[in-house]
Amino acid sequence: MQDVRGPIDCHVSFDPVTRRQPTGIFSQQVSIGEVTVSSPVPGAKVGTVFGRRGKHWKTCKVIKDKKGAFVSGMHTGVDFPAKVGTKVVAARAGVTAHVAFGKAFGSHQLVVRCPDGTQDFYAHMSERVADGLKVKAGDRLGAVGKEGNITGPHLHFERHIKHATAWSCAIVTDPSPSIGSPTSLAKPAPKSASATQVLLSGLRFGNKQATAVRLLQSALNAHKLAGVPALPVSGNYLKDTDNAVRTCQQRHGFGNDAVGKSNVGPKQAAHLFGTKVTIVDDR
């Protein structure tokens, strides 16, 4: 597979607010709503944060000079420097999958595909658990290593906006929500802004145990469609949810999907969710 990353992944300590070495150590699990999250390397300090720019990273939001020569790229995750063999654990619950996103990430790459349609990516490890393993936050996934293009042993951790089998800049997002700690250079969102994302790829018939579907079912119940019974907020997009989505489409002019093949488009999502969530069209 083509290597999509730059030649070196550095882990220089850098705090997102003070621009100094961070002093916080993230070792405990915390709860964000109904989701439990954990530091992927319990007890380790954050090194290089998400969004840092430099010549070491050759991809994502690349800057070139007037002559077209490369100047800098962006760090696409957050690094946790630690000794080789230090335990790596799941930041969030989900199902493990072995991936190969490029040799720069090493030979023991792993993602945890989470119920909300996103995934967490773990790189540079010296070992990894089996593919297809159901894990919860805090469960062991592997060990810190020094594989791939690095300057020292550390875990490189990323959050992706969808379950993906190929790496690209388009799927990378701020990993802070996955570990419950501020780990990016991004400015905090205004209090009025939505903190919840809904991926349209997850609002389709057949999707199960998904947070996005639970939000959809709650929105449909609040919509109170005449003749449509209240839906159980199960996270399973099956017959009853399919019927409610199709009824909403027909009554409001959002389309007319076939039975058992419905999905929510951007206009219907905006109608149902309003400004309560951020809608991401990743289909």
Q: Which domain holds residue 63?
A: 30-178
Name the region of 247 (left: φ>0; alpha: ψ -120 to 50; beta: rest): alpha
100 in the same domain as 148: yes
Is residue 6 helix, strand or coil?
coil
Q: Say if residues 116 and 210 touch (Cβ distance below 8 Å).
A: yes
Q: Which two tokens stand for residue 29?
A: 């699990």
Q: What is the CATH number of the domain that holds 143?
A: 2.70.70.10
Q: What is the CATH number of the domain that holds 208?
A: 1.10.101
Q: Say if residues 162 and 200 touch (Cβ distance below 8 Å).
A: no
140 in the same domain as 37: yes
Helices marked H in the chain: 176-179, 211-223, 239-252, 266-273
pTM comes to 0.61
The label of the residue with tokens 């969530």 reads 277
203 in the same domain as 156: no
201 in the same domain as 168: no
154 in the same domain as 230: no
Spatial distance between the Cα atoms of 108 and 131, rounded to a whole number of angstroms: 11
Sheet of strand 87-89, all strands in order from the earlier edge strand to the far edge: 87-89, 140-144, 125-128
Residue 24 lies in a domain: no
169 in the same domain as 102: yes
pLDDT for 59-110, tens place per residue?
887 887 777 887 788 899 999 999 999 999 999 999 999 999 999 999 999 9
Spatial distance between the Cα atoms of 163 and 106, rounded to a whole number of angstroms: 20
pLDDT for 163-222, tens place per residue?
999 999 989 998 988 887 666 665 544 444 444 677 788 899 998 877 888 889 999 999
Residue 18 lies in a domain: no
pLDDT for 220-230, tens place per residue?
999 888 889 99
- For 60-81, give the DSSP string: SS-EE-TTS-EEEEE--SEEEE
Residue 38 lies in a domain: yes
136 in the same domain as 233: no
Spatial distance between the Cα atoms of 228 and 236, rounded to a whole number of angstroms: 17
Q: Which two tokens stand for residue 179?
A: 């570990």
149 in the same domain as 208: no
Bridge partners of 98? Answer: 110
Residue 21 lies in a domain: no
The label of the residue with tokens 């039975």 reads 259
pLDDT for 98-140, tens place per residue?
999 999 999 999 999 999 899 999 999 999 999 999 999 999 9
Please count the structural domains in the chain: 2
Structural domain ending residue among the three candidates 178, 206, 235: 178
Q: Say if residues 124 and 145 touch (Cβ distance below 8 Å).
A: yes
The label of the residue with tokens 């964000």 reads 32
